[in-house]
Amino acid sequence: MVGTHPHLNTHINTVCNDNKNADDYHIVLLAIYSVVLLSGTISLSLMIHIMKSSKMSTTTIAVHNLIFTHFIFLLTVPFRIYYYASNHWSLSSEFCKVVSGMIHIHMYMSFIFYVIIIVMRLLTFYYKAEQVAPFNRIHALLVSAVVWIVVLVVVPLIMYYYYGKNAEDKSLNNSTTVETHCFKFGKHIIYHGKAFNYIVSPVIIVVATVLTSLQANVVRVLYRKHPQGCTYQQEFGAQLNGLCFALIMAICFIPYNIFRLNYLENIQLENINELFLSLTTLNCLDMLTFLGNRNFDHWMLWLCAMCLDLHPGLRLAR
């Protein structure tokens, strides 16, 4: 009788368990990206139709940039769906890096445009529209051009030379793994990008929290001024849309960036990191806040009334 080495059995069991866990995560990721692709495409199509008749302003320029950001990302989602459905990557490793990097670019670009939209809403409220007017459409277009030049020129260079590479990649031993598996770049954080993530993640968490709090306070103040007819006021509707963007930014980005700070020291949590990362793409549905604006306004009015009933002291606060 030929015996088997206990360590070999342990290794085989570990590999089988890892593969099973990966398959479970792939099913969840497949469902999430399918919802994002379908709902995101529908909402963007409707939003593009609506924005054609919108007056051009600094905020609408930022919204157009946000739509374009979602559009570029959605172009890469079918490749993710294909990979998670087949558990096999048959395209080039370089294209895998492009698809993998695009989800991070989408998150950071969306964050930038969310911040611009919310800050412009806050400036309009605190300093009034005429004082914010000097930052006109020309400035907004110039800022947009600079942002996209950086994204289209600098980011591809960084991805080509650094993303998904480390000192061990000089050998060709891993070429087969790279061709058949994708989105497995966790180990490369050790060599590149660790310091960047330690800086950017806390910034996103703090900025998202602060802006959401400020925007919620603006909506509260406007509701206190006109509790009965606030939903019919243009300023309240604009600030309410700003709050929607702030909440989407907070809900989609804060959990991932909090987890990422832990993931940087625990690379073995790569599958869970991919799950949290996929949840950031749900912000592609943000355009739905415009489509159901009237019904949402009435829902928010009811919510504000409930909050004031539960905390009467807020009615007296100034």
Mean pLDDT over each residue of the chain, to the nearest integer: 78
Mean pLDDT of 246-272: 93
The domain limits of the chain are 14-316
Q: What does the pLDDT average to over 152-180?
A: 62
Q: Distances from the Cα of 212 to the Cαs of 138, 190, 238, 277, 289, in angstroms?
A: 27, 33, 15, 21, 16
Both tokens of 67, joined, read: 């739509």
Neighbouring residues of 110: CB distance < 8 A, sequence distance ≥ 6: 66, 69, 70, 249, 283
Neighbours of 317 (CB within 10 A): 9
pLDDT of res. 172: 41
Mean pLDDT of 312-316: 49
Long-range contact pairs involving 159-163 (C-beta distance under 8 Å, separation at least 24): 159/97, 159/98, 159/101, 162/192, 162/193, 163/97, 163/100, 163/101, 163/188, 163/192
220 vs 8, higher pLDDT: 220
Give alpha helix (H) positions in 154-193. Answer: 155-161, 175-180
The yes-or-no verdict on residue 49 having pLDDT over 70 is yes
Q: Place 30 in a pLDDT band, splitting at 50, 70 and 90.
A: very high
Q: What is the mean pLDDT of residues 51-78?
A: 87
Q: What is the pLDDT of residue 289?
A: 76
Look at residue 127 in the predicted model and tell me its pLDDT: 77
Report which residue type is found at 67.
I
Whether the per-residue pLDDT at 280 is higher than 70: the answer is yes
Taking the C-alpha atoms of residue 77 and residue 92, their distance in angstroms, rounded to an integer, is: 16
Contact 84, 26 (CB under 8 A): yes
Asked if residue 130 has pLDDT above 70, the reply is: no
Amino acid at 287: M
Could you identify the residue written with the tokens 């928010």?
300
Q: How many CB atoms lie within 10 A of CB 28?
A: 14
- At CB < 8 A and 24+ separation, what contacts does 39-44 make? 39/284, 39/285, 39/288, 40/70, 40/74, 40/77, 40/281, 40/284, 40/285, 41/74, 43/284, 43/285, 43/286, 43/287, 43/288, 43/291, 44/70, 44/71, 44/74, 44/284, 44/287
Distance CA 233, CA 304 (A): 16
Both tokens of 270, joined, read 């790569």
Q: What is the DSSP string of 35-66?
A: HHHHHHHHHHHHHHHHHTTSPP-HHHHHHHHH
Mean pLDDT of 278-298: 74
Among 121-135, 216-230, 244-258, the range scoring the smallest mean pLDDT is 121-135
Distance CA 253, CA 212 (A): 12
The domain 14-316 is placed in CATH, from the list 1.10.3720.10, 1.10.1370.30, 3.90.1150.10, 1.20.1070.10, at 1.20.1070.10
Per-residue pLDDT reduced to its tens digit, 80-108: 999 999 988 988 888 888 899 899 999 99
More confident of the two residues 283 and 46: 283
Which band of pLDDT confidence, cut at 50, 70 and 90, is reported for residue 79?
very high
d(CA 99, CA 251): 23
Rounded to whole angstroms, the Cα distance separating 110 from 239 reads 19
With CA atoms as reference, report the closest residue to 291 among 93, 68, 39: 39
